[in-house]
Structure 1
């Protein structure tokens, strides 16, 4: 398959790489004390868990009920989800916490939450829920360390990775997984560099065999100069992948009719380009992006063309579920600082969309009241 210049960072997949999302879920353990020397327990006797999106260190050996009490909560008045599974309230006093557990603790409030939580605005794709609406690529950085620092600054929960052959001449060369932990960040294999549907399908079959991925990013390019998608091949590949159990997030032209056909073909997200990949030209057609948002029930994410923070914010103000970018961050003079700027831009654009823009008027409307003028 033909590679594209300055593409997103290649991610070499190895047949032995385990995939964290395909591992069997841990079963609730009986309430027993942790064994001495438990490798999951830190020397200070604590473990790390994630509670409602925040990382915390807690004492090893706690049950979920113990944790609730330490947080000042009454176990009988809350509902708990552990690692995506609801824990029956009757067992909260028996289920031990494990290192790395992710907990969602909720309760009912009358008449709505009086304290507005601005960051409680998640989005879902193919049944998976994320808080960050910024997806970043992993190419063009000077090294993996800078890439990892930028991902952390961006707050992204998903990174795109290209599927490439392993360098057998240097099997011990650093890999992306050494710097960006796939247990903490969702890897989204893509088909960057594929110019036919068959190439893309073959690439993603290998990705799934190697790591178990089914949530993938499909892009089938038409030609190298513009890197525009070939929609005939893209549509064909989407149909095949969906029938094989993949959940394709699809890079496409900013055409509402094409977007609808992709939805019918089995896409789980529509990813129209704002401008050519790597161009930094910003969103060239706000109208068609908005029409795509209005015409589909799927998440819409602007993919390609964003060059700076205001353009990321603009995409979110159009009602998009998110934005994907690589070059805008990686080629900034300070990539880590730009990653932080993009995080804030996506958040502010989303907040502005939720708040509701004022109506446009042809003429002035004074802000100050006219009554009581001197």
Structure 2
């Protein structure tokens, strides 16, 4: 079944980032290997606006991969709103990832007060907003009520590679909202992505785990397979956990012993 986010439909449930790669060519190769149909781009850090400088858009012009501009580097609602207005005017994209960082020194955690305010304004202006957030089910509901088309709770601090630190909260968020839940930030390896999908996440976004791997192309392939496997496992329905053993072979048939 397709993943529906706002006014777009995707077959892949893996979204990748574009930062921390050694060059744009590797970014493209890894993205294609991942099977992702969307790549997020920090507009303040990766060029997609200036056509007179090396431009990431040029490397993807022969693909069908969609760009998801994000507001990494913005620290308040005003900055993010201004940035996305410029993006829409400059390249015509209104499908965006809203990211407003409150602690820029240590945790890189988002400022949810500023994030909620920006969501309200941008939604009224017709943007399709995927919102980076803490793993807070109450805030996820508030964002949905104010126009977000998807929520993107962190698994762990950005770039940490720690994997999902609070599995219960991801489940709670999934239960709290009807819009897609995309686990974002802190994924370190393929098994982390698979766990996120087994918890019921609709998709996973990862950047550093691929870009900084010893072999980004191979890791991108691993992430693709992990997301697919995790989704299939979730749809299949796992067995209940029990604190005791249960025989895996039938016990109601006992052949006669000669």
Same fold (TM over 0.5): yes
Deviation at 1:333, TM superposition (A): 0.2
Whole-angstrom CA distance in 1 between matches of 2:19 and 2:202: 23
Aligned with 2:168 (options 278, 282, 287): 287
The question of 1:147 aligning with 2:27 is answered yes
Seen in structure 2, the aligned counterparts of structure 1 residues 142 and 201 have a Cα distance that, compared at 3 Å, is: same
SS at structure 2 position matched to 1:221: coil
TM-score, length basis structure 2: 0.94
Partner of 1:253: 134
SS at structure 1 position matched to 2:43: strand
Whole-angstrom CA distance in 2 between matches of 1:367 and 1:350: 25
Partner of 2:43: 163
Partner of 2:143: 262
Seen in structure 2, the aligned counterparts of structure 1 residues 301 and 149 have a Cα distance that, compared at 3 Å, is: same
Partner of 2:64: 184
Q: More relative contact order in 1 or in 2 (CA 8 Å, sep 6+)? A: 2
Seen in structure 2, the aligned counterparts of structure 1 residues 286 and 182 have a Cα distance that, compared at 3 Å, is: farther
Q: Are the equivalent residues in 1 in contact too, given 2:94–2:128 (CA < 8 A)? A: yes
Whole-angstrom CA distance in 1 between matches of 2:193 and 2:44: 29
Deviation at 1:183, TM superposition (A): 5.8
Deviation at 1:126, TM superposition (A): 0.7
Deviation at 1:284, TM superposition (A): 0.2
The question of 1:303 aligning with 2:184 is answered yes
Whole-angstrom CA distance in 2 between matches of 1:353 and 1:330: 27
Deviation at 1:140, TM superposition (A): 0.5
SS at structure 2 position matched to 1:164: coil
Seen in structure 2, the aligned counterparts of structure 1 residues 231 and 206 have a Cα distance that, compared at 3 Å, is: same
Partner of 2:233: 352
Whole-angstrom CA distance in 2 between matches of 1:180 and 1:124: 23
Whole-angstrom CA distance in 2 between matches of 1:358 and 1:369: 17
Runs of 4+ more than 2 Å apart: 164-167, 170-174
Whole-angstrom CA distance in 2 between matches of 1:317 and 1:129: 21
Structure 1 gap segments, 5+ residues each: 1-120
Deviation at 1:181, TM superposition (A): 2.4
Structure 2 gap segments, 5+ residues each: none
Partner of 2:81: 201
Whole-angstrom CA distance in 1 between matches of 2:51 and 2:224: 35
Say which one has the larger Rg.
1
TM-score, length basis structure 1: 0.65
Whole-angstrom CA distance in 1 between matches of 2:225 and 2:149: 26
SS at structure 1 position matched to 2:229: helix
Alignment length (residue pairs)? 252
SS at structure 2 position matched to 1:181: coil
SS at structure 1 position matched to 2:31: helix
The question of 1:212 aligning with 2:92 is answered yes
Whole-angstrom CA distance in 1 between matches of 2:45 and 2:145: 33
Whole-angstrom CA distance in 2 between matches of 1:300 and 1:171: 34
Q: Are the equivalent residues in 1 in contact too, given 2:74–2:101 (CA < 8 A)? A: yes
The question of 1:130 aligning with 2:10 is answered yes
Cα RMSD over matched residues? 1.6
Deviation at 1:166, TM superposition (A): 9.3
Deviation at 1:164, TM superposition (A): 3.0
Q: Deviations over 1:328-351 (max 9, x none)?
A: 000000000000000000000000
